[in-house]
Structure formats: C-alpha cells, structure tokens
Amino acid sequence: MNKIARRSFLSRTIKMGVLLPVMASPAKLLAANGNDQIATDIPDRVILTITPDPSTSITINWRNSNQTEASIVEYTIADAHPEFVANVNKVNATAKPFKYDKINTVNNRVTISNLTPDTLYDYRVGKENAWSEWFQFRTAKSNTATAKLSFIYLGDAQVGIKPLWSRVIRKAYATMPDAQLIIHAGDLVNRANEDNEWADWFAAGGYIHASTPTLMTPGNHEYTHEDGKPHLSVFWNEQFALPTNGPDDTLLKGSCYYTDIQGVRIISLNTQMIEEAPNEGCIGRQVAWLHQVLKQNNQQWTCVVMHHPIYSTKKGRDNKKAREHLKPIFDQYGVDLVLQGHDHAYARGMNKVSLTNGAADSRSGTVYVVSVSGSKMYETEPMEWADVIGSHLQVYQTINIDNNMLSFKAYLATGELFDAFDLVKAKGKQNELINKK
Ligand SMILES: [Fe+2]
C-alpha cells in the first residue's frame, strides 16, 4: 500500500469511527500519540551496535514498514559544510521481514567496514523521500598497548522505561557525551516479546542509540518460557546485529561475544544460559570459549558484562551456578571489572572478595558492580562482599580508563555523584582500589 492509499484508508477508517473504541486502549493510545510502534516508510529504532573492531567498522540497525522498498545507508566523513550530502558513500541494507503476532515490519542492518580510526562520520538510513536525519558517530582509535577509553554502563531499564528510564540514559549521555560505548547489562525490557516495551526503549534513548555504539547482553526478562524452556526474545537478534565471535552454539548467538576497543577487551556473557541452560553442553561451550577469549587477551584491561550477579544485594537472591562456573575463571585470568544487573539495586565490592580456592585472606582484584537504571527497585541488606550498597535509586555509571588507571563514577538520575573509585593496575600485582567518595 503506497502512502496515498494508506492515508485514504486511514481517513475512511476515522470517518467510520472505527478508531474511536480503540482510543481507550493504552497500547493503541501510545501509537496514536506518535510513539513509534507502527512502522512506516521513515526509518525508526535506529541503533548502532558494537563490532569486534570499532576502530574500523560499525553496524547500523533500523526498522521500517513492510511496504518499504530496499533501504540503504549513506555515509561519509563528517563535514560542517552541509553540501557534504552531495558526495557520500552508499551501501545496500540487508533487509529481513519480521513477522510476529500482529507485527509485520522489516529489520535492516548494514555493517560498514574499512572506516578510518578516530574519525567522526555522518550517516543516514532509508531511501528517497524516506530518510532518517543525519546522525554522527566517531570510530574508536586504533587499538594500542596503552588503554584509553570512556564508556557508560547502565543496569536494568526494564520497568518505567519511557516515563523514568529516559531521564537516566539522557543524563548519562549529557554527563559523558563523548562516550565511545554504552553498555546495557540485561533486562532492557520487562516482557521479552512485547513490542510496546521495545518501542519505549527505543523512544527513551532516541538519537543516543543512533550516535554511540551500543553493547548489550540479555537478561532473564529477555527470555520467554511458553513451553517451560527459556527462549530468547524474538526481537533480540532481529533488531540488534551483535558480533558473531562467540561460541558455536545458536543458544548463545547475540549474547556471548567480545570487542577490543582502545586497549580494553569487553566480553558479553549470557548468564541466563548458565542459570537456566537447557543442557550442560551449552554451559560447557560458553565456559570453554571464555577461557580462550581470556587466554588470548592482549588488551591492557578486561571488562565482563553479564546480567545475573556473581554476588547479590540480598541474601536468597543467589546465582550459584553463574558464580561457580564463572568466578574461578575471572580469578584465573584477572578480569578487572564485572558489570551486572538483575538485583534492582546498586552495589560494588572488591576488597572483601577472596579468590576461589584461595586462602581466606587472598584477594581477587576484580571489582564486581550491580546497578539499576529503570524504576523497579528491590530491597537490599548488608552483604559481606560489598564495599558500598544502595537501594531505591536510579543510577548510571561512567568509566574512564587511562593507561593503568580506571576511574569509575556512579551518578544518581539527578546527576549527583553517588559513588566513585579508582582502580590502579600495576604489573604483577593485584589491582589497587582507591575510594574516591
Ligand atoms: Fe533480571
């Protein structure tokens, strides 16, 4: 149906009064208010996803209606002269129809390679008469032996996404506008296959999703259990094209992968496929892969992103399987930072965490962080492992790495500094943690 035909269909429908009864439905009301649930020719849900080498490549994902002809990406090195639009590179999108429930759209993706490191690019997606705006993003610097990286980390958005999570991602972006990466540690939404919630997640982030490369890992809420077994959201791998350098297991596609960016290896793990793995083989493949990725790691710093925390913020919220499988590996290879979600509270600890199978006074040197960015909150209690714990607060984090120094800051949704520490790396020694607040 072309645009004019659709318009006349809509006006007929309105005249017939057909839309009036559905205006009372909250979901439909959102659509009527302009929330981008209904895909059109104009691209929406534009998001940059991380690649294994963000200094030379980027992946762009977006959605449009199933009536849309082939879409493309136009891109070029950014230029303040608006005339740049006349001389750009063009790449055809890979378009995949997406049909689920009442949804009938097209998901598009393009990975652009051979980009110049540390360079600002302009791009837009769509087709003639149906373009997105021009977005800008910067490629990472070439990987060097000395780390230098700034990024944002967000815990569960999950609930209150549009009304209350929006202010958090926006404040985070305002605090660190040149972040080279935004990390989401799972439970982006509450109901894995609910299009309204994904619409809210994209609306809340808006152009931030399209301007800063994103690295996300799924949480338990990105899974459904229709037949009693966990199934990853039908949206996940359709709307996010994530690196394919993970284990050879379809159950781990789009959730286990890594990237090397400016001296930092960032690894996404899938703890749902440990806590609720349908078979031991799946756990074994993830664990074996993690060993390899850490053994062959030539980056100065190592950061793991996963959903279920190794240590929780309340007794009884224990992820024993994840801890037993992963903690010894983090210890063995000296992972520096583990960014987690799931507990709907804030906590971090290092100095009271001992080495697995080590002496009582042995210390691992790994900082474990739990955080939450959405509005769902759980109670906490004093936990032996935690140096800092906080509850009923929406929080975002910025991380700055400069050579052997990592500066971690946790801010409240209001922008007030809530927690801060430095982590100092010295060769052959355990990391030293310095409290800054
Ligand atoms: Fe969770």
Give CA–CA dist 202/316, Å, rounded: 33
- Tell me how far the alpha carbon of residue 394 lies from the centroid of ligand 1, in angstroms: 15
- What's residue 358's pLDDT? 82
- In which band, very low, low, confident or very high, does the pLDDT at 359 lie, cut at 50, 70 and 90? confident
- Tell me how far the alpha carbon of residue 402 lies from the centroid of ligand 1, in angstroms: 31
| Total Cβ atoms within 10 A of residue 402 | 13
- Tell me how far the alpha carbon of residue 417 lies from the centroid of ligand 1, in angstroms: 25
> Coil, strand, or helix at residue 8?
helix
Give CA–CA dist 101/312, Å, rounded: 36
- Tell me how far the alpha carbon of residue 301 lies from the centroid of ligand 1, in angstroms: 26
- Tell me how far the alpha carbon of residue 158 lies from the centroid of ligand 1, in angstroms: 9
- Tell me how far the alpha carbon of residue 308 lies from the centroid of ligand 1, in angstroms: 7
State pLDDT tens for residues 361-376: 888 899 999 999 999 9
- What's residue 31's pLDDT? 41
- Tell me how far the alpha carbon of residue 156 lies from the centroid of ligand 1, in angstroms: 7
- Tell me how far the alpha carbon of residue 344 lies from the centroid of ligand 1, in angstroms: 8
Residues 131, 137, 139: CA angle, nearest 5 degrees? 135
Residue ranges of domains in the chain, CATH in brackets = 3-28+144-434 (3.60.21.10), 44-138 (2.60.40.380)
- Tell me how far the alpha carbon of residue 413 lies from the centroid of ligand 1, in angstroms: 20
State pLDDT tens for residues 231-285: 999 999 999 999 999 999 999 999 999 999 999 999 999 999 999 999 999 999 9
State pLDDT tens for residues 202-231: 999 999 999 999 999 999 999 999 999 999
Name the maximum alpha-carbon separation found in the chain: 77
Mean pLDDT of the chain: 91
Q: For the chain, give the percent of residues with pLDDT over 70.
A: 92
- In which band, very low, low, confident or very high, does the pLDDT at 143 lie, cut at 50, 70 and 90? confident
Give CA–CA dist 312/252, Å, rounded: 24
**7-16, 45-54, 186-195, 198-207: least confidently modelled range:** 7-16
**DSSP for residue 123:** E
- Tell me how far the alpha carbon of residue 194 lies from the centroid of ligand 1, in angstroms: 16
| Total Cβ atoms within 10 A of residue 12 | 10
- Tell me how far the alpha carbon of residue 270 lies from the centroid of ligand 1, in angstroms: 12
Give CA–CA dist 46/56, Å, rounded: 20
Mean pLDDT, residues 340-345 taken together: 98
CB crowding 111-125: b at 16 or more within 10 Å, else e: bbeebeeeeebbbbb
pLDDT at 35 over 50: no
- Tell me how far the alpha carbon of residue 399 lies from the centroid of ligand 1, in angstroms: 23
- What's residue 178's pLDDT? 97
- Tell me how far the alpha carbon of residue 316 lies from the centroid of ligand 1, in angstroms: 14
Give CA–CA dist 422/400, Å, rounded: 9
DSSP H/E element including 154: strand 148-154
User: How far lies 204's CA from each of 199, 215, 301, in Å?
Assistant: 9, 17, 31
- Tell me how far the alpha carbon of residue 266 lies from the centroid of ligand 1, in angstroms: 20
- What token pair was written down for 437? 């607040």
Q: For the chain, give the percent of residues with pLDDT over 90.
A: 86
State pLDDT tens for residues 41-65: 999 999 999 999 999 999 999 999 9
- Tell me how far the alpha carbon of residue 7 lies from the centroid of ligand 1, in angstroms: 42
- Tell me how far the alpha carbon of residue 272 lies from the centroid of ligand 1, in angstroms: 9
Residue 86 exposed, middle or buried by CB count within 10 Å (0-12, 13-18, 19+): exposed
- Tell me how far the alpha carbon of residue 220 lies from the centroid of ligand 1, in angstroms: 5
Among candidates 403, 409, 404, which has minimal Cα distance to 421?
409
State pLDDT tens for residues 366-409: 999 999 999 999 999 999 999 999 999 999 999 999 999 999 99
- Tell me how far the alpha carbon of residue 186 lies from the centroid of ligand 1, in angstroms: 7
pLDDT at 329 over 80: yes
- What's residue 199's pLDDT? 97
Residues in the chain, total: 437
Most confident of 6-20, 28-42, 65-79, 111-125: 111-125
- Tell me how far the alpha carbon of residue 196 lies from the centroid of ligand 1, in angstroms: 19
Task: Give the residue ranges of DSSP H helices in 212-252.
Answer: 236-239
- Tell me how far the alpha carbon of residue 181 lies from the centroid of ligand 1, in angstroms: 22
- What's residue 209's pLDDT? 98
Mean pLDDT, residues 128-146 taken together: 93
User: Which region holds residue 186: left if phi is over 0, alpha if psi is between -120 and 50, else beta?
Assistant: left
Q: What pTM, to 2 d.p., does this model score?
A: 0.91
**24-33, 99-108, 269-278: least confidently modelled range:** 24-33
